[in-house]
Chain A
Amino acid sequence: MHRIKKFLFKNGPLLATILIFFIVYAIGGQLYPAMRKPQVFFNLFINNASLLIISIGMTLVVIMKGIDLSVGAMIALTSVASAALLQQNFPPLLVILMMTLMGILFGLTMGAITHYLKVEAFVVTLMGQFFARGMAYVINRSSITITDDFYKFLALTKIHVPFFENAYVYITSLVAIVLLVVTFIILVFTRFGRTVYAIGNNEQSALLMGLPVARTKLIVYAFSGFCSALAGIVFSISLTSGFGGYALSMEMDAIASVVIGGTALTGGVGNVFGTLFGVLINGIIVTILQFNGTLTSWWTRIGVGILTLIFIGIQSLFYVRKKHT
């Protein structure tokens, strides 16, 4: 009994998030019978693959008490750059490799500037955002269509979900799921993962404990850069095009998803599975509004704002109680 209580306390925000997801889903299913189709659930993974990928990277950064505002712009830059390269008949696999490397380097650079030059992550990554979006427009100011067969194959191949009739996802959605599982394992079962939490809790004591703070920080920012490049590749595949205006302010959606998923911006606490449900909740609210078809867009924004507030409320409730116990 005591252990259950302890477990509930420890994972309170996460469980609350999951619970709320199902409640919202159930309400939607009641209101709009078409929402009970399994495909609607899988559409969440199709539509939010990129958001999920950058949110995973963001989760690590936030657990480490950092922030990365460049991810949305990096999606745009990656999509344009890969579209431009494919237009020059570069082999698609090479393009994907180059983009991934670019993402890692970009993240690494930002991480190095924050860590060694002691400039706040907020400012550095904001500059990264401006730079990436600017460069995307420099490469090409209008959108470039991707005609590469391999990309088209990836974009249009449906994978049927086992056990469900007529339900499908795309290859890109699987990328997000695989990344989620891998990241979860790394974060929970490796020394590196524990170091990330330790830095988030208290960087000074992590340093004093002899943990490789600098290296871990750089790796985490590089990982976030990798995630955003990966998300950019996924984005450019699912839209078979590249454009500097893609994924505008998606970093804010990612941060909101991370926060809703129970990761605290004060660092040291969090979980990638919570982030998954943060993304899903975001998606399900949008789906309900789309199914309704009469509510105007401003209600979306107000609704998301209020929901974030509710989640924060639940979270702080748990944290306050935790402090007292």
Chain B
Amino acid sequence: MDTNSENKTSFFHRFRKSRLFWPLVALALILIFDAIYAPGFFKIGILDGHLYGNLIDVFNNGAPLILVAIGMTMVIATGGVDLSVGAVIAISAAMGAVLINPAFGNELISNEILTQNVSKTPLPLIVLANLGAGTACGLWNGFLVSRAKIQPMVATLILMVAGRGLAQLITNGQIMTIYYTPYFFFGNGFILGIPVAMYIVAAVLLLAWFLVRKTSIGLFVESVGINDKSTYYSGISEKNVKLLAYTFCGFCAAVAGLILSSYVHSADANNIGSNYELDAILSVVIGGTLMAGGRFSLLASVIGAVVIRTFTITMYTIGVPANALLAAKAVLVLLVILLYSEQSRRLINSLFEGKKERRDA
């Protein structure tokens, strides 16, 4: 197999070696599957002046996951992990809902809230508070990890547990329905026929790409992930790099919370963004970034998130029974991970020889 690929053009060879290769293969496999079993999957139409179809849905309602995956990539690249993103989504969504109408939390729904198209706070301020709350959460995580030296899993576990409690505190335990139309722009709006959420994803991705590729921050992030001691000795503030990564992840989760609450027209502190931390981590892993940190690729993580969303929507489309969905997902992801991981493929090949060697030794 290897000799074959060497004969191919250098472009293909480069492509094969690229970190995007295996995630793309996974995506292609799912799409081929769709082409055979659900031909309607690829249909894209135009409806009321905007694009409409399954593939658009992958990006539109997958936008929050893609955003969280971008943030998670930065954190994982520093050798950490952020378990609190789901809770941060809830906090950010709760913030938005509460500012639109503070009365939500305190009384049972009244007609005034239900029918009037008004907000108690101007929209820019809502967005600011939304993003501010999430970023503050990220900052808190970053502080715990970089300054208090708490292991990332534990540090973010704290917010994961407490965060939904905080969100419920904000909403007073209610599921807050949002009736304020301008707020829906982020999750349901279209510009030039393309969902607004996609523009937001592109903007955040661009911001992240600029940070990591046009400044030296990306290099710092990788070096921290590979060896934070030596990074420290080489004069880079490993603390600030970590702080930045977690803060950025919090920011991404906040944007995801904004889009998600706008998309579902409500803030449900208990359920919104549940399991996003796991899906985001899987996206990053499918994207080929190691959990141990080091080399990373934002684009590959985005593709990883797209793989997960495409898979989920495929499952809905072909009508896999709901109860088998989780098991199917597990098998898929494990296969993908085994597929792209050079290390494991090599290990499979050398497993028998390796065993012999160990026995000799």
Contact = CB atoms under 8 A, between A and B. Distances in A.
Interface of A: 67, 113, 116-120, 122-124, 126-131, 133-135, 137-138, 141, 214, 244, 252, 255-256, 259, 264-266, 296-302, 304-306, 308-309, 312-313, 316
A19 to B, nearest CB: 21
Contacts of B153: 67, 255, 265
Nearest to B351: A116
Given A117-B348, A299-B165, A300-B165, A305 B324 contact: no
Nearest to A299: B165
Contacts of A256: 157, 161
Contacts of A127: 330, 333-334, 337
Given A297-B168, A297-B173, A134 B324 contact: yes
Interface string B173-187: 100000000000000
Contacts of B290: 120
B165 A298 contact: yes
Contacts of A299: 165
A252 B160 contact: yes
5 contacts: A130-B330, A259-B157, A265-B154, A298-B173, A302-B165
B309 to A, nearest CB: 16
Interface string B308-319: 000000000000
B42 to A, nearest CB: 27
B19 interface: no
A208 B327 CA distance: 39
Nearest to B150: A312
B158 A302 contact: no
B117 to A, nearest CB: 30
B161 A301 contact: yes
Contacts of B163: 305
A135 B169 CA distance: 35
A141 B323 CA distance: 7
Contacts of B358: 214
Given A123-B291, A131-B330, A298-B169, A305 B343 contact: no
Contacts of A126: 278, 281-282
A8 B282 CA distance: 42
B137 interface: no
Contacts of B155: 312
Contact of B341 (A117, A214, A304): A117
Interface residues of B, number: 51
Given A117-B343, A298-B173, A135 B162 contact: no
Interface in B258-287: 269, 278, 281-282, 285
A252 B161 contact: yes
B165 A119 contact: no
Contacts of B322: 137, 141
**Residue of A119, A129, A266, A299 most packed against chain B (CB within 10 A):** A119
Contact of A119 (B81, B157, B337): B337
B326 A130 contact: yes
A117 B335 CA distance: 12
A244 B325 CA distance: 13
Given A130-B333, A214-B358, A265-B153, 9 more contacts: A117-B347, A117-B348, A118-B347, A123-B281, A124-B334, A126-B281, A244-B323, A300-B165, A316-B149
Contact of B291 (A122, A259, A306): A122
A21 B311 CA distance: 46
B121 interface: no
A299 B172 CA distance: 11
B161 A305 contact: yes
Contacts of A124: 334
Contact of B338 (A117, A297, A301): A117
Contact of B166 (A116, A122, A298): A298
Question: What 4 A-B pairs come out closest when comparing CB atoms?
Answer: A134-B327, A305-B162, A301-B165, A134-B326
Chain B's interface: helix, strand, loop or mixed, by majority? helix
A284 B330 CA distance: 35
A301 B149 CA distance: 23
Contact of B151 (A117, A137, A266): A266
Given A134-B323, A134-B329, A312 B154 contact: yes
B250 to A, nearest CB: 16
A304 B158 CA distance: 8
A309 to B, nearest CB: 5
Nearest to A304: B161
B207 interface: no
B260 to A, nearest CB: 20
Nearest to A309: B158
B324 A137 contact: yes
A10 B247 CA distance: 35
Contact of B162 (A130, A134, A304, A312): A304
A117 B344 contact: yes
Nearest to B323: A137
Q: Which of B326, B328, B343 has the most CB of A within 10 A?
A: B326
Contacts of B323: 134, 137-138, 141, 244
A120 B344 CA distance: 11
B108 interface: no
Contact of B327 (A130, A141, A214, A252): A130
A49 to B, nearest CB: 22
Contacts of A265: 151, 153-154
Contacts of A316: 148-150
B164 interface: yes
A129 B155 CA distance: 22
A296 B278 contact: no
A269 B341 CA distance: 31
A13 to B, nearest CB: 13
Contacts of B326: 130-131, 133-134, 137
Given A298-B168, A298-B169, A308 B158 contact: yes
Given A127-B334, A134-B324, A135-B327, A252 B157 contact: yes
A72 B159 CA distance: 20
Contact of B159 (A133, A297, A305): A305
